[in-house]
Amino acid sequence: MLQQSELVFDFASDHINLTGFGGPLDSDYPAVIVEQIPHAHLLSYSGLACEQSHIEDVHQQPFKVEPCESGDEETMETLVAADSLLNMDCPDTLSLEQHYSETFLPLDDGISTAVTQVTVSGGIVGGVDQPQWHSLHTKRPAAQLQSKKRGKKSRHRRAESPTPDIIVKKDKYNKGGNTLYLWQFLMELLQDRQVCPRYIKWTNAQAGIFKLVNSKAVARLWGKHKNKPDMNYETMGRALRYYYQRGILNKVEGQRLVYQFTSLPKDMIYITDGDGAKEEDHDNNSCNDEDVSDDSDDSTISSSDQSEEEEQSIPPEKKISFNSVRAPAPQRTRPAPKLLGQRDTVLRSSSTSLIQEQHLPIVSGEMLRTLHNLPKVQSLKPAGHASVFKTAQLLGSLWEQQASGDSKGAMETPDEKSHPGQKISHVEPLQLVRLTSSDQ
DNA sequence: GATGGCCTAATTAGGACTTCCGGTGT
DNA sequence: CACACCGGAAGTCCTAATTAGGCCAT
């Protein structure tokens, strides 16, 4: 049983290999993937910024960090959140990814205060020293790709479902991949303040134990994601039970709706009960979320949104890896045909990785302009909002670089060719800024 | 014309569920 | 009685690997 002090929930930026960069962006500064998002509608993918008006508000007050404490507002927020979540169509998980982006760069005042990053140092499980964004920009040799075409080779086994301690290996085929495994989905929900802890919550984050507070709602969300309107907890539960065999999940004995991840990524975002959304721990699924998450709105996904999501899919040509923390032994263990230790090198596409490259902050030019111009942002005090301040500083500098006409092409990526509509600038090394309550 | 490389579409294998079911426990 | 939970069995869906065939250059 791992003790809390033995766990390390680390963040990708902490282990970025700075080799070869040598620029002003030292480890104190985040690297940001800057994308010129063609349309502001991308922000609307997230339930957090579900309305254009909200986006406009963001432009006006991008860094509100005051917590939302009003109960009424909380209720409204939850209503909106549930509604937007149930309206989320994330064939490529963009919704959640966008949410991630906004978590890193708080466009919503609620988020910036809600997310608590649990960082516990001590014994490391899973090789923390390894860069988490392993070979993010490495390319598979072309010859290697071509050689696979010809010559008879025994059929490769398809990569199995990755576990949190995976190494992601992106290949060229999964450009539009929308695979988000159930366990990933649950982890995403657990990092989503809109549903955590309202629908799903950690009961022991360090141990990876979580509870489906509203199993029906979670099942509906899953069904929504999988385009299975008939999804229910019974069906989802069957999928969860298959995870027992595969060593991904364990059931916590004696506690209904309580499961345990056998391993966790280091850079999980842990939303605690006190982080904002009032917990409604109705074990009997009796909360009013049923009304909120009524299916009546579920089918209102606009086709334009879907096409937009396709347009916004980020070319996944990178390989990502991140380490994980092995959760302590479950309270109930089952023999796993595939031991986790044997799965450490399971490959999966970046589109299915829990922390995806797309999760990196996506900063539109508009955001940069906002950041650059707003005195409020520039007046942020490093002591008070260290990460925010750093982010603002960096984004400001990035914007200046862009504005000055970055003709060197140093920030261009090959992705630009295939996605001419997206002005993508990658600043290396990749580092993330996460706004945490501890920064304040 | 023969050979080989490249490209693309079709086929295939297999993973990840999904659905259904009967049963047990709380 | 409702619900959670279990696991077997069969099915679907999706994706990646493989294969076949056409085109082109040498």
Inform me whether the pLDDT recorded for A37 exceeds 60. Answer: no
CB A65 within 8 A of CB A427: no
- Over the stretch A335-348, which tens digit does the pLDDT of each residue have? 333 333 333 322 23
Protein-to-nucleotide distance from the CA of A138 to the C1' of C23, whole angstroms: 32
Mean pLDDT highest for which of A111-125, A157-171, A248-262? A248-262
Q: How far is the CA of A242 from the C1' of C2 (A)?
A: 24
| Separation between Cα atoms, residue A36 and residue A111, nearest integer Å | 23
Query: What is the CA A240 to C1' B21 distance in angstroms?
Result: 17
The answer for A122, left when phi > 0, alpha when psi is -120 to 50, beta otherwise, is: left
Nearest nucleotide, C1' to the C-alpha of A157?
B14
Counting residues of chain A whose pLDDT is more than 70, the rounded percentage is 21
Instruction: Give nucleotides in strand C with any atom < 7 A to a protein C-beta.
Output: 3-9, 14-20
Closest residue, by C-alpha, to the C1' of C16: A158
User: From the alpha carbon of A219, which nucleotide's C1' atom is closest?
Assistant: B18
CA angle, A170 then A179 then A92, to 5°: 95
A283, pLDDT greater than 60: no
Question: Which range in A45-54, A250-259, A321-330 is most confidently predicted, on average pLDDT?
Answer: A250-259
pLDDT score of A275: 52
- Residue with CA nearest B20 C1'? A235
- CA A281 – C1' B20 distance (Å)? 31
Instruction: Give the C-alpha separation, A116 to A271, whole Å.
Output: 6
| Angle in degrees, 0-180, between the axes of helices A182-190 and A233-246, rounded to the nearest 10 | 110
- Whether A214 and A384 have beta carbons less than 8 Å apart is answered as no
Q: Looking up tokens 């603002």, which residue turns up?
A: A392
Bases of chain B with protein Cβ within 7 A: 5-8, 13-21
Q: Please state, in angstroms and rounded to a whole number, the distance separating the CA atoms of residues A58 and A45.
A: 15
Q: Which of A362, A312, A357 is nearest to A104 (CA)?
A: A362
Residues above pLDDT 90, as percent of chain A: 3
Q: CB neighbours (10 Å) of residue A147?
A: 11
Task: Convert the pLDDT of each residue in A169-205 to its tens digit.
Answer: 333 223 334 578 899 889 888 888 888 888 888 888 8
| Nearest protein residue, CA measured to C1' of C13 | A226
Q: Which of A129-138, A159-168, A312-321 has the highest mean pLDDT?
A: A159-168
Q: Are A433 and A390 a contacting pair, CB within 8 Å?
A: yes
Q: Cβ neighbours of residue A248 under 8 Å, at least 6 residues apart? A: A161, A163, A183, A261, A262, A263
Q: Residues contacting strand C at CB < 7 A?
A: A 148-149, 152-156, 158-159, 171, 173-174, 176-179, 212, 215, 227, 233-234, 237-238, 240-241, 244, 251, 255-258, 284-285, 332, 334, 349
Our measurement of CA A84 to C1' B2, in angstroms, reads 63
Interatomic CA–C1' length for residue A238 and nucleotide C9, angstroms: 13
Output the distance from A409 CA to B8 C1' rounded to whole Å. 33
CA→C1' distance for A254 and B25 (Å): 11
Residue A189 in contact with residue A95, Cβ under 8 Å?
A: no
- Distance in angstroms: CA A172, C1' B6: 17
For the CA of A410 and the C1' of C25, the distance in angstroms is: 35
pLDDT tens digits, one per residue of A347-366: 233 333 333 333 333 333 33
Strand B surroundings (CB within 7 A): A 146, 149-150, 155, 157-158, 160-162, 181-183, 222-223, 226, 228, 230-231, 234-236, 238-239, 242, 246
